Amino acid sequence: MDRALSKLRSLDAYPKINEDFYSRTLSGGVITLVSSLLMLLLFFSEFRLYLHTVTETKLLVDTSRGEKLKINFDVTFPAIPCSLLSVDAMDISGEQHLDIRHDIVKKRIDSLHNVIEARPDVIGAPKIEKPLQSHGGRLEQNETYCGTCYGAEAADDDCCNTCEEVREAYRKKGWGMTNFDLIDQCKREGFVQKIKDEAGEGCNIHGSLEVNKVAGSFHFAAGKSFHLSNFQWQDLIAFQAESYNISHKINSLSFGDYFPGVVNPLNGVQWAHETQNGMYQYFIKVVPTIYKDIRGRTVNSNQYSVTEHFRNNEMGRPQLLPGVFFFYDFSPIKVTFKEEHIPFLHFITHICAIVGGVFTVAGIVDSFIYHGQKAMKKREIGKFS
């Protein structure tokens, strides 16, 4: 038993020195104090990093299918009235949404960007007093109102009871409305006067669109769009000035929900109109993104990069639709962010490295100073002897 304990004692890598042989110095005390403070500082720094989360990033191939994309926007047009401003969206699958009104709010603003009125962009009609019927006569008492569509009816029993319904019927036919004063519904609702009253105003439009998760586009333009022979036109020819001022400021534009650290490069971007009618185009590459926080909550969203281009109307080129256009496409790569803590064993490893490293370096510095002082004393003794 004693032999085994003796062999075990011989393996001691930390031999002890009798206190009688210790030589304590002032420089050693200073080095010990400084190294202890340094170890304490590094410990708290490492502990603070351990408590905070780190984000791990991975790149994967996006295999999702059949999903929807939510586009959130807040754009200000200082020179286009709300009555003229419309939102259209379309994608490569052929799906079109023209003059979108759902989940959209328009705010009339003056030249100083003060809000005059805020209202949801919905369809409504005022009280009807003997309007024109589809059969050509006027509405009589106890007769059901069915307004004429002015030749744009898809069927004999179709009715257009509001100016908006007439415009929609014309759009489906691919026709443009050139004189709103001749449309009984528009005249009754004061559509023309409404546009004239808003002359010189601007519009802030914000809301969201839900579209298919395929390449597509959406745009803001003056008037209601209709498609004819694969070209897009606006139906407000009667109100078209020599040029539309499409100056705009993008207060915010995002594809999907917010998550920590997301950067939307178009937020706060503005452009001032300096030339005649033209198209201001943004080409956006959308990157699908999944964010998982430390609590396990998952956010499916998107990031994007963007380039921009302005196309003006020049002689010899087809007439361009004035407006602000956003063309988006999707990256085949999906990015995942995952919040997590540093493993506890890594934390312990870092603490041991801090303590051992500082202790070793302090010992080397102390030994260097001690032996240097000893050598200098020997030299001084040699000079006096």
Predicted local confidence at residue 231, as pLDDT: 43
**Rounded to the nearest 10 degrees, what angle do helices 344-384 and 26-51 cross at?**
170
Predicted confidence at residue 93, as pLDDT, reads 85
How many C-beta atoms lie closer than 10 Å to residue 311's C-beta?
12
Number of domains in the chain: 3
The DSSP secondary-structure symbol of 234 reads E
CB 334 within 8 A of CB 62: yes
Please indicate, yes or no, if residue 278 is contained in any of the structural domains.
yes
Could you say which of 153, 168, 199 is where a domain stops?
199
Shared domain for 273 and 309, answered yes or no, is yes
Q: Does residue 337 lie within any of the structural domains? A: no
Over the stretch 207-246, which tens digit does the pLDDT of each residue have?
A: 999 999 999 999 998 765 544 434 444 444 444 444 578 8
Q: Flag whether 4 is in a domain.
A: no
Residue at 188 is within a domain:
yes
Is residue 42 situated within a structural domain? yes
The residue from 181, 199, 217 where one domain ends is 199
Least confident of 80-84, 134-138, 170-174, 316-320: 134-138
Structural contact between residues 207 and 101, judged by C-beta atoms closer than 8 angstroms: no
pLDDT tens digits, one per residue of 98-144: 778 888 999 989 878 788 877 665 544 444 444 444 444 454 544 56
- Start-to-end CA distance of the chain, whole Å, equals 56
**CA dist., res. 374 & res. 368, Å (int):** 10
The one-character DSSP state at 13 is: S
| SS3 assignment, position 189 | helix
pLDDT at 187: 74
Q: Are residues 223 and 275 in the same domain?
A: yes
Query: Does 234 lie in the same domain as 88?
Result: yes
Residue 273 has pLDDT above 90, yes or no: no
One domain for residues 33 and 181? no
- The closest alpha carbon to 237, from 179, 182, 295, 276, belongs to 179
pLDDT band (50, 70, 90) for residue 314: low
Range of the domain at 28: 24-53+342-381
pTM for the model = 0.68
180 lies in the same domain as 212: no
Contact 166, 184 (CB under 8 A): no
Identify the pLDDT of residue 274.
72
Mean pLDDT of the chain: 79
Query: Residue 271's beta-bridge partner residues?
Result: 248
Q: Are residues 284 and 376 in the same domain?
A: no
Model confidence pLDDT, tens digit, residues 35-67: 889 999 999 998 888 888 888 899 999 988 888
Report the pLDDT value the prediction gives residue 135, as an integer from 0 to 100.
47
Percent helix, strand and coil across the chain, each rounded to 5?
30, 35, 40
If asked whether residues 213 and 100 sit together in one domain, one would say yes
Q: At which of 290, 306, 331 does a domain end?
A: 331
Q: Is residue 265 part of a domain?
A: yes
| Residue 176 and residue 37 share a domain | no
In a shared domain, residues 154 and 184: yes
Residues 215 and 101 grouped into a single domain: yes
pLDDT of residue 317: 54
pLDDT band at residue 313 using 50, 70 and 90 as cut-offs: low
Identify whether 274 is part of a domain.
yes
d(CA 51, CA 342): 8
What mean pLDDT comes out for the span 332-349? 90
Q: What percent of the chain has pLDDT over 70?
A: 77
Residues 224 and 95 in one domain: yes
Indicate whether 299 and 150 sit together in one domain: no
The CA distance from 288 to 112, in Å, is: 38
Measured between alpha carbons, how far is 287 from 64 in angstroms, rounded to an integer? 13
Which two three-digit tokens encode residue 21?
């042989």
* Domain assignment present for 137: yes
Size of the chain, expressed as the number of residues it contains: 385
In Å, how far are 89, 97, 211, 215, 327 from 94, measured between CA atoms? 10, 10, 12, 11, 15
75 contacts: CB under 8 Å, gap ≥ 6: 204, 205, 206, 220, 248, 249, 250, 251, 253, 324
**Strand, coil or helix: what is 294?**
coil
